[in-house]
Amino acid sequence: MRDVNATKDLHAQRFHQAPAMFAAPGRVNLIGEHTDYAQGFVMPAAIDFATLAAISPRDDGSIIIASENFHEEVTHKLTALPKEAAHHWSDYPLGVLNILRSVGVELPGFSLTLSGDVPLNAGLSSSASVEVATIVAVLSLTAAEIPLPEMAKLCQRAENEFVGASTGIMDQFIACCGAEDHALLLDCRSLSFRLAPIPPDISIVISNSMVKHSHAGGEYNIRRAEVEQGTQIIHRHRPEVGFLRDATLEDLKQWGSEMPPSVLKRTRHIITEDLRTVAAADALEAGDLKTLGRLMYEAHASYRDDFEASCKEADILVKLAAKEPGCIGARLTGGGFGGCTVNLVEREYTAGFIESLRKGYREATGIEADIYNCHASAGAHRIGN
């Protein structure tokens, strides 16, 4: 649910206090997959699905976090906050509280209501939107002044250290710093970024394969470990390569034979994906949509064949999209192993594109895809006063 007034009213009824309201968006990544933890480049956009946070202070030394989506609430004394994940939706907000405390923020008592419409386990970054909504809401009750990029880093730590998923910085960063009508090219080493306008005659169509994706453990962490193995092998020969961001195709030629075949492929994906991502940002800025689209298809092929992070349903969606008039480019977006494909489509073709894609996917798989015509949106913000 993402009705600001409804969430506000529910919070007020439950906790007898008018809340302050915040929102943090989900994201779609246009290109640059698994490059963030290799200190490379990514180009996501925030989308118009978001987590809402309604917050009000409490003076009884406790915190209550209610989830409208899960119809549950958890209560903890500030003196006894859980220190470990419980494989529960509350791990994400509790992880943020733990990290805030670890950097010296004095936590206040509060009641927090979370609600939202970011599809779950769809690779659209619902977890980061919950973390970021929590951090902006909780910090509003404190004197701490933390800039948005720093908040992103703290939320990433919550996910890495508390939830146990070794994710990079992309999702939390775009949830904090996204901008309306823009994609964001992020240098994941320096955290400097540039905003690239999405032309008004282009739609961002997201098609949900309905194959569930999750990265609290599992394949995501395995890929990350393989990427680290590839890095180590190159590092042995070229100590200045601490991350694959610094490696080149020439390194792969020289030292690739020392890598197990799967590690060689993962490493190749990261090195080539970084090149594609920077080229894609240049193409978007230059209005060269043909090149942008070609890079998206190439990125999908690399994600499928070298990173082996696609699934047959996503491959079908991309293949179907590529045949449609007005489709500029398509690829699997996000952490992989299910979730959504992102399609850039000429606006005048969008309605027909969505209809044909839904039909083609149903015929090929028997699955009814959810398809969203999204809009690049702003990062985390307060709603109202």
Residues that bind ligand GAF (CB under 6 A): 29, 33-34, 36-37, 125, 167-168, 170-171, 215, 334-335
Shortest spacing between CB 252 and ligand GAF, in angstroms: 20
Q: What is the DSSP letter of 107?
A: P
Shortest spacing between CB 124 and ligand GAF, in angstroms: 9
Closer to ligand GAF at the Cβ: 10 or 183? 183
Shortest spacing between CB 232 and ligand GAF, in angstroms: 19
How many beta carbons lie within 10 A of that of residue 358, not counting itself?
A: 16
Give yes or no for a contact between 347 and 19, defined as CB atoms under 8 angstroms apart.
no
Shortest spacing between CB 376 and ligand GAF, in angstroms: 17
Q: Say whether 207 counts as a known binding-site residue.
A: no
Among 121, 110, 17, residue whose Cα is nearest residue 339: 121
Between the two ends of the chain, the Cα-to-Cα distance in Å is 22
CA 150 to chain centre: 17
Q: Say whether 303 counts as a known binding-site residue.
A: no
Give yes or no for a contact between 111 and 58, defined as CB atoms under 8 angstroms apart.
yes
Shortest spacing between CB 347 and ligand GAF, in angstroms: 27
Kindly state the helix (H) or strand (E) to which residue 79 belongs, with its residue range.
none
Measured between alpha carbons, how far is 131 from 148 in angstroms, rounded to an integer? 13
Spell out the residues 6+ positions from residue 374 whose beta carbon is closer than 8 angstroms to its own.
28, 47, 48, 49, 203, 204, 205, 206
Measured between alpha carbons, how far is 75 from 203 in angstroms, rounded to an integer? 42
Q: Say whether 250 counts as a known binding-site residue.
A: no
Measured between alpha carbons, how far is 332 from 339 in angstroms, rounded to an integer? 8
Closer to ligand GAF at the Cβ: 110 or 307? 307
Shortest spacing between CB 323 and ligand GAF, in angstroms: 26
Closer to ligand GAF at the Cβ: 19 or 334? 334
Closer to ligand GAF at the Cβ: 39 or 343? 39
Active site residues: 171
The identity of residue 250, as a single letter, is: E
Half-sphere exposure of 291 (CA within 13 A, CB side): 13
Q: Say whether 127 counts as a known binding-site residue.
A: yes
Q: Say whether 166 counts as a known binding-site residue.
A: no
205 three-state secondary structure: strand
Closer to ligand GAF at the Cβ: 19 or 116? 116
Closer to ligand GAF at the Cβ: 26 or 360? 26
Q: Say whether 235 counts as a known binding-site residue.
A: no
Q: Say whether 220 counts as a known binding-site residue.
A: yes
Distances in whole angstroms, Cα of residue 55 to Cα of each of 9, 76, 141, 230: 12, 16, 9, 45
Among 7, 5, 106, 41, residue whose Cα is nearest residue 274: 41
How many beta carbons lie within 10 A of that of residue 319, not counting itself?
A: 13
Distances in whole angstroms, Cα of residue 9 to Cα of each of 117, 130, 170, 198, 262: 17, 20, 33, 35, 52
Q: Say whether 159 counts as a known binding-site residue.
A: yes
Instruction: Specify the residue for token string 């690739």.
Output: 256
Shortest spacing between CB 127 and ligand GAF, in angstroms: 8
Closer to ligand GAF at the Cβ: 256 or 335? 335
Q: Which residues participate in the annotated binding site for ATP?
A: 67
Q: Which residues participate in the annotated binding site for Mg(2+)?
A: 127, 159
Q: Which residues participate in the annotated binding site?
A: 33-36, 67, 127, 159, 220
